[in-house]
């Protein structure tokens, strides 16, 4: 059932976050993060990291988590994208341009990732009873909108949640200003925990990213118009910086912290968790590398 479009701020603060969350960062310039280079060689490492971390949240080894990350240059494909007739050749063409590729497991379609795209993930234990994924999408949409509102209230007031036709990775909970998409949201569930994830285009140009994905589909579909894949129109994509919002990753991530503080959530750095409990997880951890290998085998074309 398709969700009705709505103004995120006017809809009120959706859902509740835990009173305390652990902050993991991998955004290069973030204090305590491992840096962009940590994921440069393998597009699946950030996804594998969250797979392991989510499992540990479900097992009670670590409290709920906020993970902020970026990748220096890649395209994450959906499973259906990887099955297009010339997907392998289209992926190879991107690799030859220095753009890493991988098939992700959290649903959706192809999205470009680079230093100007901040990924925001909430990793939470499953509550008792039935989960409504719409509530989780609304929760993350609200947090992102509140992050924009921290420094740019006029832009935040214009954010709407609705599918943007012509965008890459279209979905009911696209976030857009003036009909131009800057964010998409997806979710993945495990037995005892789940994460809801968003990519947020903060800086750079939406047009260039949209053109990259349009060309990928053009090549991967080999001109077969009967195939089912997103018909990307690059002009439907924009960065927050182009829409009157935050203009840098640092400004946006500071807004995320402010949004959580405004909700009464205390963020604790991962380093403090390690000092107090001994729990540590890095991109280079053998568990993460093994999870990346398994994801590659499972979701490879």
* Residue 169 appears among annotated catalytic residues: yes
Q: Scanning the structure block, which residue is given the tokens 């080999």?
A: 222
Question: Which contiguous run of DSSP H or E holds residue 122?
Answer: strand 117-125
Q: How far apart are CA 182 and CA 115, in angstroms?
A: 15
Spatial separation of the C-alpha atoms in residues 235 and 283, rounded to whole Å: 35
Tell me if 113 sits within 8 A of 199, measured CB to CB.
yes
Please state, in angstroms and rounded to a whole number, the distance separating the CA atoms of residues 175 and 146: 13
Half-sphere exposure of 189 (CA within 13 A, CB side): 9
Token pair of 34, please?
Answer: 């491992």
Q: Which of 54, 169, 183, 212 is catalytic?
A: 169
Count Cβ atoms below 10 Å from residue 129 Cβ, excluding itself. 6
- Residue 116: strand, helix, or coil: coil
Phi, psi of 73 (to 5 degrees): 175, 105
Q: How far apart are CA 129 and CA 259, in angstroms?
A: 28
Q: Which active-site residues does the annotation give?
A: 169
């Amino acid at each position: 059932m398709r969700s009705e479009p709505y103004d995120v701020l006017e809809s009120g603060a959706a859902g509740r976050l835990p009173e305390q969350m652990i902050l993991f960062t991998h955004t290069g310039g973030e204090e305590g993060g491992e840096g962009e280079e940590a994921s440069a060689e393998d597009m699946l490492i950030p996804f594998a990291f969250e797979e392991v971390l989510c499992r540990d949240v479900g097992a009670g080894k670590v409290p709920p988590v906020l993970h902020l990350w970026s990748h220096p240059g890649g395209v994450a494909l959906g499973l259906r994208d990887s099955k297009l007739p010339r997907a392998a050749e289209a992926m190879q063409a991107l690799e030859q341009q220095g753009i890493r590729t991988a098939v992700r497991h959290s649903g959706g379609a192809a999205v470009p990732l680079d230093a100007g795209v901040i990924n925001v993930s909430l990793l939470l234990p499953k509550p008792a009873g039935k989960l409504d994924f719409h509530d989780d999408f609304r929760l993350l949409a609200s947090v992102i909108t509140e992050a924009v509102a921290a420094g740019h209230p006029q832009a935040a007031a214009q954010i709407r949640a609705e599918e943007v036709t012509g965008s890459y990775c279209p979905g009911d909970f696209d976030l857009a200003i003036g009909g131009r998409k800057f964010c998409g949201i997806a979710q993945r569930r495990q037995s005892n925990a789940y994460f809801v994830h968003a990519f947020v285009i903060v800086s750079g140009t939406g047009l260039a990213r949209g053109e990259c994905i349009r060309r990928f589909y053009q090549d991967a579909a080999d001109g077969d118009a009967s195939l089912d894949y997103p018909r990307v129109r690059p002009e439907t994509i924009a960065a927050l910086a182009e829409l009157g919002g935050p203009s840098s990753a640092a400004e946006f991530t500071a807004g995320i912290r402010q949004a959580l503080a405004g909700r009464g959530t205390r963020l604790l750095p991962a380093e403090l968790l390690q000092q107090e409990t001994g729990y540590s997880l890095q991109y280079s951890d053998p568990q993460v590398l093994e999870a990346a290998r398994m994801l590659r085998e499972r979701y490879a074309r």
